[in-house]
Structure 1
Amino acid sequence: MKFSLIVAVVVLALAQGSFAQEAFNLDNLSQYFEDLRNRMPQDLGEIIRNPDLVNQARTFLEERKAQLEPLATQVQEQLRAASTNVEEQLKPLATQLQPMFENLQRQVEAMVQKMREQAAAIGN
């Protein structure tokens, strides 16, 4: 689509070429660019509304979608397999770490209890 727009701009510039050759003085040159600037939105709008261009863009997008869908499915399957693999590796680790976390939790609770008792003893 970018290529079509570039071609359209070049065609517009070439169509205006005869006028550009006559625009040697600064006033004519600035008027030329002002006219070109004013006409560009209209001309580009006409190009963009061209049914052939719209159909080409639609065809291009449909072809790319058809090309990318199998790739997306493949990536999804690989991610699913990787996720399963990571989960299978982490389950035994989690099982091994669970008793350690429970022991740590008991130790922290015992320290907190001891600090409460010491704080109560100091407070009395």
Structure 2
Amino acid sequence: MKLSLIVAVAVLALAHGSFAQDATDLQKIGQYFEEMKNKMTQDLTEFMRSQDLTSQAQSLQTQLEPLASQVQEQLKTVAASVEEQIKPMAASVQAQIQPMVTEFQKQMETIFQQLTEQAKAIGN
């Protein structure tokens, strides 16, 4: 009887030990599923945010395209107006500067010719 009692206690101790191991395994599995749930929630939230940003960007682009076209047309008009005003001024400035440029060119040619003559005289 004592032997059977000792065997029964040993079997109960072993069974209890294996149940404790099972509880630890269950806890690990529960923690794994909790981490997986949190990761999936985070990934889904980020995906939804990125989708929202994409749709907002498309909406903003749709709203700004007509405005960009208007600004482009206005800039073309302003550029044409500025060009019309600058062309006569540029022609006037060129007409005033051209005689000075011609005179400067003549002076440089004279100086170059004198230097060439001096170089020939030194070489002889």
Same fold (TM over 0.5): yes
Cα offset for 1:120?
Answer: 1.0
- Which of 47, 50, 54 in structure 2 is aligned with 1:48? 50
- Which residue pairs with 1:13 in the alignment? none
In the superposition, relative to structure 1, how do residues 39 and 116 fare at CA in structure 2: closer, same or farther (>3 Å)?
A: farther
Amino acid at match of 2:116: R
Counterparts of 1:15-94 in structure 2, within 5 Å, are 43-49=45-51, 54-94=54-94
Higher helix share: 2
Cα offset for 1:42?
Answer: 5.6
Provide the aligned length of Structure 1 versus Structure 2. Answer: 88
In the superposition, relative to structure 1, how do residues 40 and 119 fare at CA in structure 2: closer, same or farther (>3 Å)?
A: farther
**Could you list the per-position Cα deviations for residues 45-97 of structure 1 after superposition, in whole angstroms to 9, with x for gaps in the alignment?**
343235xx544432221111112321221122112211221122110110121
Which structure 2 residue ranges, 5 or more long, are not aligned? 1-34
Cα offset for 1:106?
Answer: 0.9
Amino acid at match of 2:70: P
TM-score (norm 1): 0.58
Q: C-alpha distance in 1, partners of 2:106/2:49?
A: 75
Cα offset for 1:43?
Answer: 3.2
Q: Which has the larger radius of gyration?
A: 2
Q: C-alpha distance in 2, partners of 1:107/1:84?
A: 36
Identical aligned residues as a percent: 22
SS at match of 1:49: helix
Q: C-alpha distance in 2, partners of 1:42/1:113?
A: 84
Question: RCO higher in 1 or 2 (8 Å CA, sep ≥ 6)?
Answer: 1
